[in-house]
Amino acid sequence: MTHIITGRWKIFKKVFVTTLAVLAILTISTPTTAQGPNPINGSLPPNSKLPDTNDRLYQQKMNQVRRNQIQASSTLREVLYVGTMGQFREPEDSDYVNYCGPSSTQIALRARTADIPELNEIAECEQINPRWGVYMTSVTDCLNQYLDSDFYWTDIAESKDELASWLKTDIDQGFALVTGVFTTSMRGWNGYSVSHIITLYGYDYSYQVFSDKMVYYVDTASKLAGYSGPYFNIVTLDAIWSFVSWNNVQSW
């Protein structure tokens, strides 16, 4: 009987120690400010609908894609000016670790104008919840509001080629593209896995140096949020798609 109890205790002890080890790894590899699983920063709100393909204004947007593929097919590289190094980085303050939506909105606005609202004003416009962030539909609405336009739509790219097409169409017309991503394999996130928002501000589809199309993006996250990478980034289209596909919603 004593041997049975001793054996059970060893099993329990082993399970207990293993559980503690797993919890320790999760604690080390996840920022204390990481959001919960629902809602998701950069996603669609519950019961939201994607654009109606029969909507006249949306058809105009899609026609821009088709015209761009014909008229600007010879343009293989375009990069927008979106401000100076670190200009719209999130403050090193625990109250702002989920402000990637408003700060990415500032980046997109800078591609169009030098008159950029304060971060807190945009956060209010986007109805931010500091515990997890904003919905992409709010980013779209506020971009159109500040630019007094109906250019931006919230949609989901069905493939990396469609994302590349949307990006080229927007950039060629002087508009940045805002997208949701998941940070697990992104440079500078050190394996932290959080839902995030970044702004794509340029492309290089020339194939002159790399074998894949290249995409330029800004990551506005602070060190406090778990990010130690660069502000301006350029990666392959394959890499961008791998980031996007886990949190795939665009304001484009």
> What is the pLDDT, as a whole number, of residue 66?
78
Joined together, the tokens standing for residue 242 give: 């791998």
Instruction: Decide: 220 and 182 in contact? Cβ < 8 Å.
Output: no
Q: 3-state DSSP call for residue 199?
A: strand
Mean pLDDT of 37-62: 88
Is residue 248 predicted with pLDDT exceeding 50? yes
Is residue 35 predicted with pLDDT exceeding 50? no
Give me the CATH code for the 35-251 domain, please.
Answer: 3.90.70
Determine the number of helices (DSSP H) and then strands (DSSP E) in the chain. 7, 7
Does residue 124 or residue 209 have the better pLDDT?
Answer: 124
Mean pLDDT of 28-53: 68
Mean pLDDT of 61-75: 75
Joined together, the tokens standing for residue 215 give: 């995409």
> What is the pLDDT, as a whole number, of residue 30?
35
Is residue 32 predicted with pLDDT exceeding 50? no
Mean pLDDT of 217-227: 97
Strand pairing category for 250-251 and 154-155: antiparallel
Neighbour-count burial of 51, counting CB atoms closer than 10 A to its CB (0-12 exposed, 13-18 middle, 19+ buried): middle
pTM comes to 0.82
- By percentage, how much of the chain surpasses pLDDT 90? 70
Mean pLDDT of 124-129: 98
Joined together, the tokens standing for residue 13 give: 């002890």
pLDDT interval class at 22 (50, 70, 90): very low
Instruction: Decide: 199 and 83 in contact? Cβ < 8 Å.
Output: no
Distance CA 74, CA 29 (A): 44
pLDDT interval class at 107 (50, 70, 90): very high
Does residue 65 or residue 136 have the better pLDDT?
Answer: 136
- By percentage, how much of the chain surpasses pLDDT 70? 81
> What is the pLDDT, as a whole number, of residue 235?
96
The ranges assigned to domains in the chain are 1-30, 35-251
> What is the pLDDT, as a whole number, of residue 244?
98
